[in-house]
Chains A and B, each alone.
Chain A
Amino acid sequence: EPEVTQTPSHQVTQMGQEVILRCVPISNHLYFYWYRQILGQKVEFLVSFYNNEISEKSEIFDDQFSVERPDGSNFTLKIRSTKLEDSAMYFCASGDSYSYEQYFGPGTRLTVT
C-alpha cells in the first residue's frame, strides 16, 4: 500500500540554525500539507500546497518557513532560523483530488536546543 515517507525521523538542531524536513508524498497525489504537533497538544495546520504554489498557510507559517517541491517526488519544509518553540513533531500529508482524505507520514521530531 502506498504511504507517505518522511526523513529524518528525528532532527536535533541548535537555535538559529536552518533545517530542512523532507517528505515523499504518495506518487499520484496532487495536494500536499505540513502540520505540526507540539508534545501533548493537537495537530496544527501549517501550510497546503497545490499546483506548485502555496494554497493556504496558517499564522504559524511566518517568513521563517518555506516549502518547496524541488522535483516530482519530494516535498520539503524549511525553517530558516529555528527557535526553541519550533520543537515539535512535523507531519507531512498528501491527498488526491477525489476525496478529502489526507494520508499522513510518520513525522519528523524536531528538537531545537
Chain B
Amino acid sequence: GESVGLHLPTLSVQEGDNSIINCAYSNSASDYFIWYKQESGKGPQFIIDIRSNMDKRQGQRVTVLLNKTVKHLSLQIAATQPGDSAVYFCAEIGGGGSNYKLTFGKGTLLTVNP
C-alpha cells in the first residue's frame, strides 16, 4: 500500500551547520511532495514542495531533492538556526486517485544546538 516514511527519527546539529533530513516513499505514482515543519503546539507549516517531474527545488535556505529511482526525498537546510528546531514531515499527494489528500511520513525531530 501507499506509505511515506522517514529514515531517522531524530537529528541533532550545531547552529550554523547544514542539516539533511531524509524521507523514503513507496508509491511510485506519487506526483507531488511537500515538506512541512511542525513546532511544538502548532500545526504543520508548509516549507517547500516539489513535483515528481523535478529533481531539485530551492527556496530560502532550503533545498528539496527528489530521487525517483530510489524513491527518496530529502530536505536540506543551510546554516541551521535555533529557530529551525522542530519536527519535519514529508508528505505526498496523488498516486491514489485523490488529488489533494496529504499522506504524511512519521516525522524527524531536528534539534539545533547553539
Interface residues of A (CB under 8 A from B): 4, 31, 33, 35, 41-45, 48, 55-56, 91, 93, 95, 100-107
Contact = CB atoms under 8 A, between A and B. Distances in A.
Interface class of chain A by DSSP: strand
Nearest to A91: B43
Contacts of B77: none
Interface of B: 32, 34, 36, 41-46, 49, 89, 91, 93, 98-107
Given A102-B100, A106-B42, 17 more contacts: A33-B100, A41-B106, A42-B89, A42-B104, A44-B104, A45-B103, A48-B100, A56-B98, A56-B101, A91-B44, A95-B100, A100-B32, A100-B100, A104-B36, A104-B44, A106-B43, A107-B43
Given A106-B43, A107-B43, A45 B101 contact: yes
B102 A35 contact: yes
Contacts of A91: 43-44
A41 to B, nearest CB: 7
Contacts of A55: 98, 100
Nearest to A43: B104
A100 B32 CA distance: 8
Contact of A45 (B32, B102, B106): B102
A32 to B, nearest CB: 10
A101 B43 contact: no
Nearest to A45: B101
Contacts of B102: 33, 35, 43, 45, 93, 102
Contact of B46 (A33, A56, A102): A102
